[in-house]
Amino acid sequence: MAFFIETLIGGLLSGVMYALVALGFVLIYKASGVFNFAQGALVFFAAATFVGLLETGLPFWLAIVATLAAMVVVGLATERFVLRPLVNQPQITLFMVTIGLTFFLEGLTQMIWGSQPRALDIGIEDVPVEWLIERFNISVSRFDVFAASVALVLFAVLAVFFQKTRIGRALRAVADDHQAAMSIGIPLQQIWGIVWAAAGFVALVAGIMWGARNGVQFALTFTALKALPVLILGGFESIPGAILGGLIIGAIEKLAEVYVGPMFGGGIESWVAYIVALMFLLVRPEGLFGEKHIDRV
Protein backbone atom coordinates (compact mmCIF):
# COMPACT_ATOMS: atom_id res chain seq x y z
CA MET A 1 0.00 0.00 0.00
CA ALA A 2 2.86 2.37 0.89
CA PHE A 3 4.29 1.80 -2.57
CA PHE A 4 0.98 2.62 -4.25
CA ILE A 5 0.69 5.84 -2.23
CA GLU A 6 4.30 6.74 -3.03
CA THR A 7 3.67 6.24 -6.74
CA LEU A 8 0.45 8.24 -6.57
CA ILE A 9 2.07 11.15 -4.71
CA GLY A 10 5.03 11.10 -7.11
CA GLY A 11 2.60 11.23 -10.03
CA LEU A 12 0.61 14.09 -8.55
CA LEU A 13 3.76 16.11 -7.90
CA SER A 14 5.01 15.46 -11.44
CA GLY A 15 1.56 16.47 -12.66
CA VAL A 16 1.90 19.85 -10.99
CA MET A 17 5.15 20.35 -12.92
CA TYR A 18 3.32 19.55 -16.16
CA ALA A 19 0.52 21.93 -15.21
CA LEU A 20 3.11 24.66 -14.72
CA VAL A 21 4.08 24.39 -18.39
CA ALA A 22 0.47 23.93 -19.52
CA LEU A 23 -0.47 27.17 -17.81
CA GLY A 24 1.59 29.19 -20.30
CA PHE A 25 -0.35 27.63 -23.18
CA VAL A 26 -3.67 28.35 -21.46
CA LEU A 27 -2.92 32.03 -20.85
CA ILE A 28 -2.22 32.74 -24.50
CA TYR A 29 -4.98 30.54 -25.89
CA LYS A 30 -7.49 32.04 -23.48
CA ALA A 31 -6.80 35.58 -24.57
CA SER A 32 -5.97 35.23 -28.24
CA GLY A 33 -7.12 31.81 -29.40
CA VAL A 34 -3.54 31.07 -30.45
CA PHE A 35 -2.11 27.66 -29.62
CA ASN A 36 1.43 28.79 -28.81
CA PHE A 37 3.67 25.95 -29.91
CA ALA A 38 6.66 28.03 -28.76
CA GLN A 39 5.86 27.74 -25.05
CA GLY A 40 8.51 25.03 -24.56
CA ALA A 41 11.08 27.21 -26.32
CA LEU A 42 10.08 30.11 -24.05
CA VAL A 43 10.76 27.88 -21.03
CA PHE A 44 14.23 27.08 -22.43
CA PHE A 45 14.96 30.72 -23.26
CA ALA A 46 13.89 31.86 -19.79
CA ALA A 47 15.92 29.25 -17.91
CA ALA A 48 19.04 29.73 -20.07
CA THR A 49 18.84 33.51 -19.70
CA PHE A 50 18.39 33.24 -15.95
CA VAL A 51 21.36 30.86 -15.50
CA GLY A 52 23.46 32.85 -17.97
CA LEU A 53 22.84 36.04 -15.99
CA LEU A 54 23.63 34.26 -12.71
CA GLU A 55 26.93 33.15 -14.25
CA THR A 56 27.82 36.75 -15.06
CA GLY A 57 27.72 37.38 -11.31
CA LEU A 58 24.29 38.96 -11.06
CA PRO A 59 22.58 38.32 -7.68
CA PHE A 60 19.70 35.84 -7.70
CA TRP A 61 16.83 38.32 -7.41
CA LEU A 62 18.37 40.75 -9.86
CA ALA A 63 18.76 37.89 -12.34
CA ILE A 64 15.07 37.05 -11.86
CA VAL A 65 14.07 40.66 -12.54
CA ALA A 66 16.38 40.96 -15.56
CA THR A 67 15.12 37.67 -17.01
CA LEU A 68 11.55 38.75 -16.42
CA ALA A 69 12.32 41.96 -18.30
CA ALA A 70 13.77 39.88 -21.15
CA MET A 71 10.65 37.72 -21.21
CA VAL A 72 8.42 40.81 -21.35
CA VAL A 73 10.49 42.12 -24.27
CA VAL A 74 10.17 38.76 -26.06
CA GLY A 75 6.42 38.73 -25.35
CA LEU A 76 5.86 42.26 -26.58
CA ALA A 77 8.07 41.74 -29.64
CA THR A 78 6.14 38.57 -30.49
CA GLU A 79 2.87 40.46 -30.32
CA ARG A 80 4.18 43.43 -32.32
CA PHE A 81 6.17 41.69 -35.05
CA VAL A 82 4.64 38.22 -35.29
CA LEU A 83 0.99 38.30 -34.26
CA ARG A 84 -0.16 41.82 -35.06
CA PRO A 85 0.56 41.51 -38.80
CA LEU A 86 -1.50 38.33 -38.78
CA VAL A 87 -4.65 39.64 -37.10
CA ASN A 88 -7.78 38.07 -38.65
CA GLN A 89 -5.75 35.33 -40.32
CA PRO A 90 -6.96 31.73 -39.92
CA GLN A 91 -6.10 29.87 -36.71
CA ILE A 92 -3.83 27.48 -38.56
CA THR A 93 -1.73 30.42 -39.79
CA LEU A 94 -1.24 31.64 -36.24
CA PHE A 95 -0.38 28.13 -35.10
CA MET A 96 2.17 27.73 -37.89
CA VAL A 97 3.81 31.01 -37.05
CA THR A 98 4.34 29.84 -33.46
CA ILE A 99 6.14 26.78 -34.86
CA GLY A 100 8.46 29.17 -36.67
CA LEU A 101 8.83 31.15 -33.46
CA THR A 102 9.89 27.93 -31.70
CA PHE A 103 12.83 27.39 -34.06
CA PHE A 104 13.78 31.05 -33.85
CA LEU A 105 13.79 31.07 -30.03
CA GLU A 106 15.71 27.78 -29.81
CA GLY A 107 18.38 29.10 -32.18
CA LEU A 108 18.50 32.49 -30.48
CA THR A 109 18.94 30.91 -27.05
CA GLN A 110 21.81 28.68 -28.19
CA MET A 111 23.40 31.58 -30.08
CA ILE A 112 23.36 33.84 -27.02
CA TRP A 113 24.03 31.35 -24.24
CA GLY A 114 25.73 28.47 -26.03
CA SER A 115 24.74 24.84 -26.18
CA GLN A 116 26.35 23.59 -22.96
CA PRO A 117 24.00 22.15 -20.31
CA ARG A 118 24.22 23.98 -17.00
CA ALA A 119 23.32 23.29 -13.40
CA LEU A 120 20.84 25.48 -11.58
CA ASP A 121 20.93 25.43 -7.80
CA ILE A 122 18.14 27.31 -6.09
CA GLY A 123 19.10 26.10 -2.64
CA ILE A 124 16.48 23.36 -2.25
CA GLU A 125 18.11 19.95 -1.90
CA ASP A 126 16.57 17.27 -4.09
CA VAL A 127 16.44 14.50 -1.49
CA PRO A 128 13.61 12.47 0.05
CA VAL A 129 11.59 14.01 2.89
CA GLU A 130 13.11 12.20 5.86
CA TRP A 131 10.14 11.90 8.21
CA LEU A 132 7.98 10.39 5.45
CA ILE A 133 10.62 7.73 4.86
CA GLU A 134 11.09 7.06 8.56
CA ARG A 135 7.40 6.97 9.53
CA PHE A 136 5.70 5.56 6.43
CA ASN A 137 8.54 4.30 4.21
CA ILE A 138 7.28 6.65 1.50
CA SER A 139 9.85 8.49 -0.59
CA VAL A 140 8.75 11.96 -1.68
CA SER A 141 11.21 14.48 -3.05
CA ARG A 142 11.66 17.62 -0.98
CA PHE A 143 12.31 19.58 -4.17
CA ASP A 144 9.12 18.31 -5.80
CA VAL A 145 7.10 19.42 -2.76
CA PHE A 146 8.73 22.84 -2.99
CA ALA A 147 8.10 23.07 -6.75
CA ALA A 148 4.46 22.09 -6.27
CA SER A 149 4.09 24.78 -3.58
CA VAL A 150 5.57 27.41 -5.90
CA ALA A 151 3.22 26.28 -8.67
CA LEU A 152 0.19 26.49 -6.38
CA VAL A 153 1.15 30.02 -5.31
CA LEU A 154 1.51 30.95 -8.99
CA PHE A 155 -1.91 29.49 -9.79
CA ALA A 156 -3.44 31.48 -6.90
CA VAL A 157 -1.74 34.72 -8.03
CA LEU A 158 -3.02 34.26 -11.57
CA ALA A 159 -6.52 33.44 -10.34
CA VAL A 160 -6.60 36.67 -8.30
CA PHE A 161 -5.15 38.58 -11.25
CA PHE A 162 -7.85 37.32 -13.60
CA GLN A 163 -10.75 37.68 -11.16
CA LYS A 164 -9.96 40.82 -9.17
CA THR A 165 -7.92 43.22 -11.29
CA ARG A 166 -9.04 45.58 -14.05
CA ILE A 167 -6.55 44.13 -16.52
CA GLY A 168 -7.62 40.65 -15.56
CA ARG A 169 -11.25 41.45 -16.28
CA ALA A 170 -10.23 42.99 -19.60
CA LEU A 171 -8.31 39.80 -20.40
CA ARG A 172 -11.39 37.74 -19.67
CA ALA A 173 -13.49 40.03 -21.82
CA VAL A 174 -11.08 39.62 -24.73
CA ALA A 175 -11.08 35.89 -24.17
CA ASP A 176 -14.87 35.78 -24.31
CA ASP A 177 -15.31 37.85 -27.45
CA HIS A 178 -12.60 39.88 -29.23
CA GLN A 179 -14.99 42.10 -31.16
CA ALA A 180 -17.29 42.81 -28.22
CA ALA A 181 -14.27 43.66 -26.07
CA MET A 182 -12.92 46.04 -28.71
CA SER A 183 -16.33 47.67 -29.11
CA ILE A 184 -16.30 48.77 -25.46
CA GLY A 185 -12.80 50.21 -25.79
CA ILE A 186 -10.53 47.41 -24.57
CA PRO A 187 -7.24 47.69 -26.49
CA LEU A 188 -6.81 44.24 -27.98
CA GLN A 189 -3.14 44.62 -28.91
CA GLN A 190 -2.20 45.89 -25.47
CA ILE A 191 -4.01 42.97 -23.87
CA TRP A 192 -2.20 40.51 -26.14
CA GLY A 193 1.11 42.09 -25.17
CA ILE A 194 0.27 41.67 -21.48
CA VAL A 195 -0.77 38.07 -22.00
CA TRP A 196 2.45 37.19 -23.83
CA ALA A 197 4.45 38.86 -21.08
CA ALA A 198 2.46 36.89 -18.46
CA ALA A 199 3.14 33.68 -20.39
CA GLY A 200 6.82 34.66 -20.37
CA PHE A 201 6.66 34.99 -16.58
CA VAL A 202 5.05 31.56 -16.28
CA ALA A 203 7.76 30.19 -18.60
CA LEU A 204 10.41 31.67 -16.30
CA VAL A 205 8.93 29.96 -13.22
CA ALA A 206 8.57 26.68 -15.14
CA GLY A 207 12.11 27.03 -16.51
CA ILE A 208 13.60 27.60 -13.06
CA MET A 209 11.73 24.64 -11.56
CA TRP A 210 12.45 22.22 -14.43
CA GLY A 211 16.00 23.56 -14.82
CA ALA A 212 16.77 23.08 -11.13
CA ARG A 213 15.32 19.57 -11.37
CA ASN A 214 17.17 18.27 -14.47
CA GLY A 215 19.66 20.96 -15.48
CA VAL A 216 19.26 23.82 -17.90
CA GLN A 217 19.60 22.51 -21.42
CA PHE A 218 17.89 22.30 -24.78
CA ALA A 219 15.68 19.44 -23.56
CA LEU A 220 13.65 21.97 -21.59
CA THR A 221 11.82 22.59 -24.87
CA PHE A 222 10.51 19.00 -24.58
CA THR A 223 8.55 19.94 -21.46
CA ALA A 224 5.90 21.20 -23.89
CA LEU A 225 5.26 17.59 -24.89
CA LYS A 226 4.36 16.82 -21.29
CA ALA A 227 1.86 19.69 -21.29
CA LEU A 228 -0.11 18.65 -24.39
CA PRO A 229 -2.15 15.78 -22.89
CA VAL A 230 -2.74 17.97 -19.84
CA LEU A 231 -4.25 20.64 -22.10
CA ILE A 232 -6.41 18.18 -23.99
CA LEU A 233 -7.74 16.81 -20.73
CA GLY A 234 -8.14 20.05 -18.82
CA GLY A 235 -9.25 22.28 -21.67
CA PHE A 236 -7.22 24.89 -23.52
CA GLU A 237 -8.93 27.85 -21.86
CA SER A 238 -9.05 26.91 -18.21
CA ILE A 239 -6.49 27.49 -15.46
CA PRO A 240 -8.26 25.08 -13.05
CA GLY A 241 -8.44 22.66 -15.99
CA ALA A 242 -4.65 22.86 -16.44
CA ILE A 243 -4.13 22.10 -12.75
CA LEU A 244 -6.61 19.25 -12.57
CA GLY A 245 -5.49 17.91 -15.96
CA GLY A 246 -1.88 17.95 -14.76
CA LEU A 247 -2.75 16.06 -11.59
CA ILE A 248 -4.79 13.43 -13.47
CA ILE A 249 -2.21 12.91 -16.22
CA GLY A 250 0.68 12.82 -13.73
CA ALA A 251 -1.04 10.24 -11.53
CA ILE A 252 -2.27 8.05 -14.40
CA GLU A 253 1.04 7.92 -16.24
CA LYS A 254 3.01 6.99 -13.13
CA LEU A 255 0.55 4.35 -11.97
CA ALA A 256 0.35 2.96 -15.50
CA GLU A 257 4.13 2.81 -15.85
CA VAL A 258 4.57 1.00 -12.56
CA TYR A 259 1.59 -1.38 -12.65
CA VAL A 260 0.85 -1.89 -16.36
CA GLY A 261 4.20 -0.98 -17.95
CA PRO A 262 5.97 -4.29 -17.19
CA MET A 263 3.32 -6.14 -19.29
CA PHE A 264 4.37 -4.08 -22.32
CA GLY A 265 8.10 -4.05 -21.69
CA GLY A 266 7.98 -0.70 -19.88
CA GLY A 267 8.45 2.84 -21.13
CA ILE A 268 4.71 3.37 -21.66
CA GLU A 269 4.15 6.54 -19.68
CA SER A 270 4.80 8.94 -22.55
CA TRP A 271 2.10 7.45 -24.78
CA VAL A 272 -0.34 6.40 -22.06
CA ALA A 273 -0.87 10.09 -21.29
CA TYR A 274 -1.82 10.70 -24.91
CA ILE A 275 -4.11 7.66 -25.04
CA VAL A 276 -5.94 8.92 -21.95
CA ALA A 277 -6.18 12.40 -23.49
CA LEU A 278 -7.46 11.01 -26.79
CA MET A 279 -10.09 8.87 -25.07
CA PHE A 280 -11.20 11.91 -23.15
CA LEU A 281 -11.30 13.91 -26.37
CA LEU A 282 -13.85 11.47 -27.79
CA VAL A 283 -16.18 11.94 -24.82
CA ARG A 284 -15.61 15.63 -24.08
CA PRO A 285 -13.81 17.41 -26.94
CA GLU A 286 -13.59 20.73 -25.09
CA GLY A 287 -11.79 19.15 -22.12
CA LEU A 288 -12.82 19.15 -18.46
CA PHE A 289 -13.26 22.89 -18.10
CA GLY A 290 -13.02 24.09 -21.69
CA GLU A 291 -15.80 26.14 -23.17
CA LYS A 292 -18.30 24.40 -25.40
CA HIS A 293 -18.34 26.16 -28.77
CA ILE A 294 -21.70 26.46 -30.44
CA ASP A 295 -21.55 27.83 -33.97
CA ARG A 296 -24.52 29.43 -35.70
CA VAL A 297 -25.25 27.62 -38.96
Partner 1 sequence: MLHRKNLITPLIGLVLAASAGVAAAQEQFVPLLSYRVGAYASGGSGIFGGYIDYMSYINMKEGGVNGVKLAWEECETEYNNSRGVECYERLKKKGGGAALVQPLSTGITYSLIDRVVVDKVPMVTLGYGRTDAADGRVFPWVFPMITTYWSQADAMVKFIAKKEGGDAKMKGKKLVHLYHDSAYGKEPIGVFQAYAKKLGYEFTAIAVPHPGNEQSSQWQQIRQIKPDYVILWGWGVMNPTAIKTAQRTGFPREKLIGVWWAGAEEDVIPAGAASKGYTTAAFNVSGDKLPLVQDIKKVVYAKGKGNMEDESRVGSVLHTRGIVHGIITVEAIRKAQEKYGKGKVMTGEQVRWGLENLNLDEARLKALNAAGFMPPLKMSCADHEGSGLVKFQTWDGNQWKVISDWITPDKKMLRDMIEESSTKFAKEKGITLRDCSKES
Q: Which of 74, 235, 237, 257 binds partner 1 (CB under 8 A)?
A: 257
Rounded to a whole number of angstroms, the CA Rg of the chain reads: 19
CA 188 to chain centre: 23
* Residue number, 98 or 221, with CB nearest to partner 1: 221
* Residue number, 144 or 237, with CB nearest to partner 1: 144
The span of 72-80, 180-188, 227-235, 250-258 binding partner 1 (CB under 8 A) equals: 250-258
Alpha carbon distances (Å) from 146 to 16, 109, 128, 292 = 11, 27, 12, 35
* Residue number, 47 or 242, with CB nearest to partner 1: 47
Is 106 one of the binding residues for partner 1 (CB under 8 A)?
yes
Contacts of 120 (CB under 8 A, 6+ apart): 47, 50, 51, 54, 208, 211, 212, 215, 216
Contacts (CB under 8 A) with partner 1, residues 107-166: 107, 110-119, 121, 126-128, 133, 139, 141, 143-144
Q: Which of 269, 277, 280, 290 binds partner 1 (CB under 8 A)?
A: 269
Is 10 one of the binding residues for partner 1 (CB under 8 A)?
yes
Is 95 one of the binding residues for partner 1 (CB under 8 A)?
no
What single letter denotes the amino acid at residue 26? Answer: V
What single letter denotes the amino acid at residue 245? Answer: G
Contacts of 86 (CB under 8 A, 6+ apart): 93, 94, 97
Contacts 24+ apart (CB under 8 A), 125-132: 126/212, 126/213
State the nearest-atom distance from the C-beta of 106 to partner 1, in Å. 8
Contacts (CB under 8 A) with partner 1, residues 172-231: 210, 213-219, 221-223, 226
State the nearest-atom distance from the C-beta of 43 to partner 1, in Å. 11
Is 271 one of the binding residues for partner 1 (CB under 8 A)?
yes
Q: Decide if 84 contacts 193 (C-beta within 8 A).
A: no
Q: Which of 85, 90, 185, 265 binds partner 1 (CB under 8 A)?
A: 265
Q: Decide if 85 contacts 189 (C-beta within 8 A).
A: no
What is the residue-wise DSSP string for 121-147? Answer: --S---SB-HHHHHHH----BHHHHHH
* Residue number, 14 or 32, with CB nearest to partner 1: 14
State the nearest-atom distance from the C-beta of 110 to partner 1, in Å. 6
Is 168 one of the binding residues for partner 1 (CB under 8 A)?
no
State the nearest-atom distance from the C-beta of 55 to partner 1, in Å. 10
Q: Which of 3, 73, 157, 165 binds partner 1 (CB under 8 A)?
A: 3
For the stretch 277-286, what's the b/e string if a residue is b when 16 or more beta carbons lie within 10 angstroms of its beta carbon? beebeeeeee
- What residues make contact with partner 1 under the rule CB under 8 A? 3, 6-7, 10-11, 13-14, 17, 52, 106-107, 110-119, 121, 126-128, 133, 139, 141, 143-144, 210, 213-219, 221-223, 226, 253-254, 257-258, 261, 265-271
